[in-house]
Amino acid sequence: MKSEILVSREWRYAVKKYDKSKNIEVEDLELILKAINLAPTSYGLQPFKIIHVKGDKVRAELKTAAYNQGQITDASDLLVFAHATVVHPMIIDRYFNNLIIKRKPNLKEVESYKNRVTEALTKWPEAQQAAWCDKQMYIAMSYGLQAASDLRIDSSAIEGFDQHRFAEILKINTTLWKPTVSLTLGYRSKNDSSQHLTKVRLSENELIYTFE
């Protein structure tokens, strides 16, 4: 188990070329989506949504908006992550509605806590709210990368795309949501030379500092 943690992380790499003929099993995709949904977020608000893009035509359009990166069309599955542009009331309401259903708490206490959370987040300038939502979303995306590699399913995060074009193509209401990253999932092509590259990472001394 302990060694599997590193084996799985070493096995994963950012796929450049997928094997178009191989699709992910439905139950594996469901598992990855469940893992994404289990990612922690600040206050638990999950201020984002995920669009599972199906259909060759729309994926071909998205590819052109992603500097022709082949992963967009050739992966088995494409998930586009869009974060909330501000912490709008719907983000807060949907969390608290779920909380009330799941935990059956004291409603007065929940109302007061909800007001405190709303106050804490919505007093920020809009750009800071957007950046906060974006950060929460990336944690979820990385849960997807990791769950996939645990299943030995290949992946690549894709940030290189024109966000405005993606929003247009996917008919995303940009006053509420902003697509900033995609997760492609599938199986690597035998011809993807990236799989043979040695990983480039900081040494632990460069990354981790001790402070006593």
Interacting residue ranges for ligand FMN, rule: CB under 6 A: 13-14, 16, 69, 156-160, 181, 199
Cβ-closest residue to ligand FMN?
160
Minimum distance of ligand FMN from residue 180's CB (angstroms): 9
Distance of CA 58 to the CA centre of its chain: 20
Contact by Cβ (8 Å): 79, 51: yes
Assign 52 to helix, strand or coil.
strand
Residue nearer to ligand FMN on the CB measure, 18 or 96: 18
Rounded to 5 degrees, what are φ and ψ at 131?
Answer: -65, -40
Residue with tokens 């492609």: 184
Residue nearer to ligand FMN on the CB measure, 36 or 121: 36
Residue nearer to ligand FMN on the CB measure, 48 or 95: 48
Residue nearer to ligand FMN on the CB measure, 44 or 160: 160
Q: Which residues pair with 178 in a beta bridge?
A: 83
Rounded to 5 degrees, what are φ and ψ at 109?
Answer: -65, -40
Residue nearer to ligand FMN on the CB measure, 69 or 189: 69
Minimum distance of ligand FMN from residue 111's CB (angstroms): 37
Residue with tokens 């900081």: 202
Residue 101 backbone zone (phi > 0: left; psi -120 to 50: alpha; other: beta): alpha
Minimum distance of ligand FMN from residue 175's CB (angstroms): 24
Minimum distance of ligand FMN from residue 156's CB (angstroms): 6
Minimum distance of ligand FMN from residue 211's CB (angstroms): 27
